[in-house]
Amino acid sequence: MKVIRGIIAAIVLLAIAGVVLIVALPGEKIAKLAADQVKAQTGRDLVFEGSVGISWYPVLGIRTEAVRFGNAPWSSKGPMFQAESAVIGVDVMAALGGDIRIKTLELVSPDVLLEVNADGQANWDLTADKAPVPAATSAPDVSTSAATPITLESLSLSNARLRYIEAGTQLQEIANLSLTLDWPERTGPASLAAEAAPFGEPLATQATIAAPLTLLQGGTTQVYAKLTAAQGQASFTGQFGIAPEAQGRLEVNAPDAHAFLATLGAAGPEGPLAASGDVTLTGNQQVSLRGGTLQVLGNTFSVQADVNLSGTRPNVIAQIATEHLRLQGSKAASDNTIPKQETNIGGWSKEPIDAQALGLIDGTITFAAEAMDLGHIPVGKTRTTLKIDNARAVATIEEMAIFDGAVQGTLVANNRNGLSVRGDLTAAAIGLKPFLAAAADIDRFTGAADARATFLSSGGSVDTLMNGLSGEGNLSVGRGTIEGIDLDRLLRGDVTGGTTVFDNMAASWTIKEGVLQNDDLVMGLPRLAATGKGTVGLGLKTIDYIFTPQLRGADGPSLMVPVKIRGSWHNPSIVPDLEAAIKSGFEADLDAIEDSLKDAVHNELGVTPQEGQSTEDALKKKLEDEAKKGLLNLLGGN
């Protein structure tokens, strides 16, 4: 009992001594002792502005007004740290033993500036500024003696502002930050929690640090960190260092990708998002991802990537692959055809195109898919490579199975001095039926086509791009059919349907200022031939074209019926050129062959002139009606 009473008495005496010591020392003296100790530890000034007093609750210590902590000597952007006020609670018993244990540090409206200069030096590297401690020649003084270790058990920040800037980059800022740190033992683990809303929506982070002291001394330690926002979370488990450097497992799970990424200042798709992978970050700003998986928009991707963050823009080398890519809302076409879409009767969009994303990264990204469904367009095996350099992206299609055939080529988008686009595509054995169904809502042609097309344009909107298009191309088709119409029977007055079988079809075109010009469309049939020429306004969505089917006779065409197609894409005027048709079939004097013409018209076309109607007028009316019906049927009209 005596021993116990002695211990209790000693503790009481030490506590009383500690209280007496703090009461005896004025606040300014305590502040000076703290400033001298910080100077010895870091080589930087700790300045207390205004009054400094004693704090009795919740722990014994000092309460200050404004306080600031110096920045690195090479910085000209002001203090690294400053706050409106601070409360510093100390462990009196530890202080009596020569150890400064800060029980609590509460900071009101602190402003922290983290900075990296052009040489890669960070202002939070306090060892770089520490002056060598002079050798003791006399009785030690607190300001010149070896630094006493400082332990911080609890840190609390409220209404904080954190700023970060690297040389040559824009300042990044997080305001209204709240943070708490619990670090009970100097050599033990610490837990950290923070809340902020850097982009308007709140997010919270939690972290457990196995060895904070090792971290502060420039080493790495085991860390578990979790970010929670918009009912989603991202976590990291692995090694971490303040260089910064890291190696561990990253996992993301967000039921609403758009809301989750918005809290981080990024855009994202609607729907759930899940991602995971092994991540490595080195001190020279190299990031690698291995074994990555990404689940988004109902698709699953495997991802590997290497990213260099040391340049003006991140340089990305990545490989992305998926078994089956499906755009959200698309439906697979079970019969390999394209459902008819509602015709767009308006002009092209004049909304400005935001192409700034082209300048966000450089690098090379390869993509592979075994199958894709792109807005009702079924695509088979695909291999593409995207190279981006200083806001210029080149997509090379090495392989793409589409429309029963294959496409190869390059697509270029350049936003270095305004947006421009260029393409050079080659198609082999493309099915006319699925292609025309997708491109023009026409599904009556069958056959396999080979084609090549180039185009070039520039502008800030789709309307400007389409009206500025230039380029050229050609198309050739082998044996095929036109379903639902027999051109031979049509020219003989029979519109009861049938199928036209053609032996070949070919055409070439040029494009200038958004207008496509074609003068050599040729379609060969057993008993017919058809030609076409005219223009298609790609920018204005207009057409001015003449399509001319003709019966073949022993000495050449026996009957030609040119058909003029003019007007807008959504409602063109289709009118047979009867004057040209009659003149082409009857170049001799019409009066001399009036009687034979009447017989031919009556026998071949079943036309009998009405009273007061000439044979020419009757023929004109008959050919106009039947040719228009047939052509409308061919183009899918009524």
pLDDT in tens, 492-534: 655 566 777 888 899 999 999 999 999 999 988 777 788 899 9
Contact between 114 and 163 (Cβ < 8 Å): yes
The residue that leads in pLDDT, 423 or 574, is: 423
E-only strand ranges, 478-608: 480-483, 499-502, 504-512, 515-524, 528-537, 542-553, 556-560, 563-568, 572-576
Dist. CA 591–CA 461, nearest whole Å: 59
What DSSP string runs through 382-415?
EEEEEEEETTEEEEEEEEEEETTEEEEEEEEEE-
Dist. CA 328–CA 249, nearest whole Å: 29
Dist. CA 611–CA 504, nearest whole Å: 44
The residue that leads in pLDDT, 19 or 184, is: 184
pLDDT of residue 187 exceeding 70: yes
Partners of residue 550 on adjacent β-strands: 529, 560
pLDDT band with cut points at 50, 70 and 90 for residue 576: confident
Dist. CA 379–CA 399, nearest whole Å: 11
pLDDT value for 491: 61
pLDDT digits (tens, 9 = 90+) for 327-374: 754 444 444 444 444 444 568 999 999 999 899 999 999 999 999 987
Alpha carbon distances (Å) from 264 to 259, 268, 328, 633: 9, 10, 24, 55
What are the helix and strand counts (H, E) for the chain? Answer: 11, 37
Instruction: Give how far the C-alpha of residue 7 lies from the chain's centroid of Cα atoms, to the nearest Å.
Output: 69
Tokens of 161: 């502002």
- The burial class, CB within 10 Å (0-12 / 13-18 / 19+), for 285 is middle
pLDDT band with cut points at 50, 70 and 90 for residue 610: low
Partners of residue 37 on adjacent β-strands: none
Q: Which of 80-89, 286-295, 593-602 is the least confident region?
A: 593-602
- Amino acid identity for residue 120 in this structure: G
The residue that leads in pLDDT, 563 or 57, is: 563
Token look-up 């200022």 returns: 513
Contact between 52 and 34 (Cβ < 8 Å): no
The set of residues, in sequence order, having a beta carbon less than 8 Å from that of 179 and lying 6+ positions away, is: 155, 156, 157, 160, 192, 193, 194, 195
**Global pTM?**
0.72
pLDDT of residue 226 exceeding 50: yes
Domain locations along the chain: 2-128+145-180
The set of residues, in sequence order, having a beta carbon less than 8 Å from that of 278 and lying 6+ positions away, is: 248, 249, 250, 289, 290, 291, 292
The residue that leads in pLDDT, 23 or 374, is: 374
Tell me phi and psi for residue 118, to 5 degrees. Answer: -65, -20
pLDDT digits (tens, 9 = 90+) for 131-183: 554 544 444 443 444 445 556 778 888 888 888 888 877 888 888 889 898 98
The set of residues, in sequence order, having a beta carbon less than 8 Å from that of 380 and lying 6+ positions away, is: 370, 371, 372, 400, 401, 402
What DSSP string runs through 430-488?
EEHHHHHHHHHS---EESEEEEEEEEEEE-SSHHHHHHT-EEEEEEEE-SEEEETB-HH
- Amino acid identity for residue 634 in this structure: L
pLDDT band with cut points at 50, 70 and 90 for residue 489: low
Helix axes 615-634, 578-585, angle to 10 degrees: 110
Dist. CA 69–CA 51, nearest whole Å: 17
- Amino acid identity for residue 332 in this structure: A
Identify the helix (H) or strand (E) that includes residue 627. Answer: helix 615-634
pLDDT of residue 91 exceeding 80: no
CB burial of 370-405 (b: ≥16 within 10 Å; e: otherwise) equals ebbbeebbbbbebebebebbebbbbbebeebbbbbb
In the chain, the percentage of residues whose pLDDT exceeds 70 is 71
Q: Which of 75-84, 283-292, 382-391, 560-569 is the least confident region?
A: 560-569
Tokens of 212: 């904070």
Nearest to 408 by CA among 433, 387, 428, 430: 428
pLDDT value for 257: 93
Average pLDDT of the residues in 263-274: 89
Instruction: Give how far the C-alpha of residue 320 lies from the chain's centroid of Cα atoms, to the nearest Å.
Output: 14
In the chain, the percentage of residues whose pLDDT exceeds 90 is 38
